Amino acid sequence: MKIEPDIKLDFNDVLIRPKRSTLSSRSEVDLVRVFKFPHSPQTLSCVPIIVSNMTSVSSISMLKACSQHKILTCLHKYIDINEVIDAIIENPDLINYCMLSTGISDKEYEKLQENLSLMEKKCKPLRMLTIDIANGYQASLVNFVKKIREKYPDIILFCGNVVTRELVEELILSGADCIKVGLGSGAGCKTRTQTGVGFPQISAVSESADASHGLNGHIVSDGGICEPGCCVKAFAAGADFCMMGGVFSGHDECPGEIIEEDGKKFKEFYGMSSNTSMEKYHGGMSSYRTSEGRTCKVPYKGPVENTILNYLGGLRSAMTYVGAHRLKDLPKCSTFIRVNNQLNTVFAKYD
C-alpha cells in the first residue's frame, strides 16, 4: 500500500492573506486576459470564466447572456449545431465566446467533423473545442488529442479531465492548449463516493498549473465552486480559467422548465454521468456502469446576470485586497494560509 504523506488542500482548507495595496477602487482592476497558446496560433481575449458543458446548464441563451460580460460558454455535445450557427449569424461576435464539446468515440468524432464543416460553410470556423471525458487517464484521450491537433491545427484545444502533473504534461505535449483539472469536486458529481477516487481541488490546480505553465500551456479549474471566494482561490492557486456548472444552474437561461412545489420555484440540475443524463441521451444506464452523477432541484435564481455580477464583483474585491491590478497577477499577489474554520455561520440561515 502506498500513501502520500503530504496533505492535499481543498477550497475550504485555505484563505488568502490580505496585504497592502495601491488600488483604491474595484473599478481599477482588469478581469480580461489575453491568452496565447502552445499549439494554436490564435489569441483569445476574455474574462476567463467558463460555463460548464452540462445539458442542464449550457444553452444558446446562456452563451448570449455571458458573452455580454466576455465570459465563455462551453456548449454541451448534444447541442443543435443549426441553433449555434443561427446565433452566430445573428451576432458574429459570439464565435469569440463559444466553445463546442465532444467525446472521443468514433461516432462523436464523425459528428464533430460534420458540425465543424457546417459551421465553416455557413458562418465562421469554430475557434475553441473541448474534448471532454470523465476519466482523462485513458490512453485513448491522448491519441484523440493528437488526431484533433493534426486535423485542426488552428483550433484552441481544451481537454480533460485530469488532476496530476504527469497527464497535464503529456496532454499538452500531445497537442492540447489548455487542460481541464478536476475529479469528483463538482456539485453534480458522485465519483468520490462511488469510486473513492479524487483529488482536492486547490492542490490539483496548483500542481497542474506548475506543470502546464512550464510548457506554455494553461489549465481550467473545473468543479467545486460554491461561492465567489472559491472562484478567487482557484485563480489565486494558478488556474488560468475557471469552469462552473452548479453556479450557473437554476437560471432563466438554463434548459428546462421552472418547477413549482409548495409555492417555491426550482429548476432541474444533473450531472452528465447521472441516471437522468443517461436516460435522456443514451436510453438508460449500461449494466456495467454505475451512476456517478446526482440529480436535484436547485432553487430558481432568475436571470443569470445577477450571478455574473456577484462573481465578478467578488473577484474585483479580492484583487483590491491583495494589490493585483490584473487577474493574471492574482497568483503572484496571493499567499494562502491554512485554516480550520472559514467563517461565522450563526446567522447563515437568515441570509
Half-sphere exposure of 153 (CA within 13 A, CB side): 2
Q: What whole-number distance in Å separates Cα of residue 188 and Cα of residue 292?
A: 9
The grid coordinates of residue 217 equal 500551456
Whether the CA torsion 139, 142, 145, 149 is positive or negative: it is negative
Residues in Cβ contact with 94 at an 8 Å cutoff, skipping those fewer than 6 apart: 63, 64, 67, 87, 88
Q: What whole-number distance in Å separates Cα of residue 307 and Cα of residue 95?
A: 23
Judge whether 191 counts as a catalytic residue.
yes
Judge whether 189 counts as a catalytic residue.
yes
Q: What whole-number distance in Å separates Cα of residue 335 and Cα of residue 98?
A: 33
First-to-last C-alpha distance (Å) of the chain:
46
Q: What whole-number distance in Å separates Cα of residue 295 and Cα of residue 315?
A: 29
The grid coordinates of residue 102 equal 465532444
Selected catalytic residue, list 191, 276, 307, 320: 191
Phi, psi of 227 (to 5 degrees): -160, 170
Q: What whole-number distance in Å separates Cα of residue 325 and Cα of residue 23?
A: 7
- Residue tagged 461565522 (cell numbers): 344
Residues in Cβ contact with 19 at an 8 Å cutoff, skipping those fewer than 6 apart: 321, 322, 323, 333, 335
Closest residue by Cα to residue 100 from 133, 118, 76, 66: 76
Closest residue by Cα to residue 305 from 229, 251, 236, 232: 251
Q: What whole-number distance in Å separates Cα of residue 248 and Cα of residue 158?
A: 20
The grid coordinates of residue 214 equal 512550464
Selected catalytic residue, list 98, 178, 189, 242: 189
Q: How many CB atoms lie within 10 A of CB 32?
A: 12
Catalytic residues: 189, 191
